[in-house]
Structure 1
Amino acid sequence: MATTNPYQSYKQNSVNTASPGELTLMLYNGCLKFIGLAKNAIQNNDIATRNVNIQKAQKIINELMVTLNMDFPISKNFMSLYDFMNRQLIKANIVNDIKILEDVEFLLTEFRDTWKEAIQINRQKQYAAGGQA
């Protein structure tokens, strides 16, 4: 009989029950986590770990790009910024530059914080309208 890790089960359940907005927030947080790990790897001169974590961050940015709803005019701006961040991640990986990672981290933090605020406003409106989710 296999034992399951309660933390892993909790994480999996969180993903399975999250709204699309919460999933996007998780992507932003994951990307920020991997950028932080890549920055630490650069400081420790750990090229392999830097590369792995930057590539993980790139995969998340690519997922954000693929799932972007292009029916809205603002989506073109998001796509341009995601593309810029992706190119900057590639550059940071090639030239081993923490500053470039910090610039991408700043942009992603702004996106994440704005997204989180939008989720909170939406929840407040739903609660005020009678609690329908």
Structure 2
Amino acid sequence: MINVNAYQQYQYNSIMSASPERLVLMLFEGAIRFVKLARKAIEEKDIAGANENLTKAQDIIAELNQSLDMSYDISENLAGIYDFLYRRLVDANIKKDAEFLDVVESMLKELKDTWEQAYVNSKKNS
């Protein structure tokens, strides 16, 4: 980690020391941020920027899907949601159409809020 600035070191330490629950929240936050950046890039006709940010959001959704523990009933439902979100992101990327991002961003925010509430509740019960 030579020549890493202080902010990058802080980010690295935040990730490495985060609980699994906090990491999931960070993934949702990142996906939402990349969707917003992609929307802006599409509106500005920045094809490369849109592709880059949509690809990052797709990678995050794929990671969330891969991390599911399928021994829980809810995981099957989440897998379906993640598949839907991933396909909408691909459609937005192929067509460079920000309308696909409306539902994606809304659903990501709802999932993040739900996960955050569950995380807070689990901390209270610990």
**TM-score class normalised by the smaller sequence:** over 0.9
Please list every run of 5 or more consecutive structure 2 residues that lacks an aligned counterpart in the other structure.
Answer: none
SS at match of 2:21: helix
Judging changes above 3 Å, is the alpha-carbon distance between structure 1 residues 122 and 87 closer, same or farther for their aligned structure 2 residues?
A: same
| Displacement over 2 Å in runs of 4+ | none
TM-score (norm 2): 0.95
Report the Cα offset of residue 3 of structure 1.
4.8
1:102 corresponding residue in structure 2: 102
- Give the Cα–Cα distance (whole angstroms) in 2 for the partners of residues 70 and 26 of structure 1: 21
Larger radius of gyration: 1
| CA distance in structure 2 between the partners assigned to 1:42 and 1:99 by the alignment | 10
Q: Which amino acid aligns with 1:58?
A: Q
Match of 2:54 in 1: 54
Q: 1:131 maps to what in 2?
A: none
Matched residue count: 125
- Deviation sequence 1:87-132 (CA, Å, 0-9, x none): 0101111111111111101001000011011111111112xxxxxx
Matched, 1:86 2:86: yes
> What amino acid maps onto 2:54 in structure 1?
I
Q: What are structure 1's unaligned runs of at least 5 residues?
A: 127-133
Which residue of the partner structure matches residue 44 of structure 1?
44
Aligned to 2:121: 121
**Residue 4 of structure 1: how far off its partner (Å):** 3.6
Identical aligned residues as a percent: 43
**What's the offset of the Cα at 1:42?**
0.6
Mapping for residues 9-88 of structure 1, pairs under 5 Å: 9-88=9-88
Aligned residue identity for 1:27: L
> RMSD of the TM alignment (CA)?
1.0
Q: Per-residue deviation at 1:7?
A: 1.2
Q: Report the TM-score, using the length of structure 1 for normalisation.
A: 0.90
Whole-angstrom distance in 2 between the partners of 1:34 and 1:82: 16
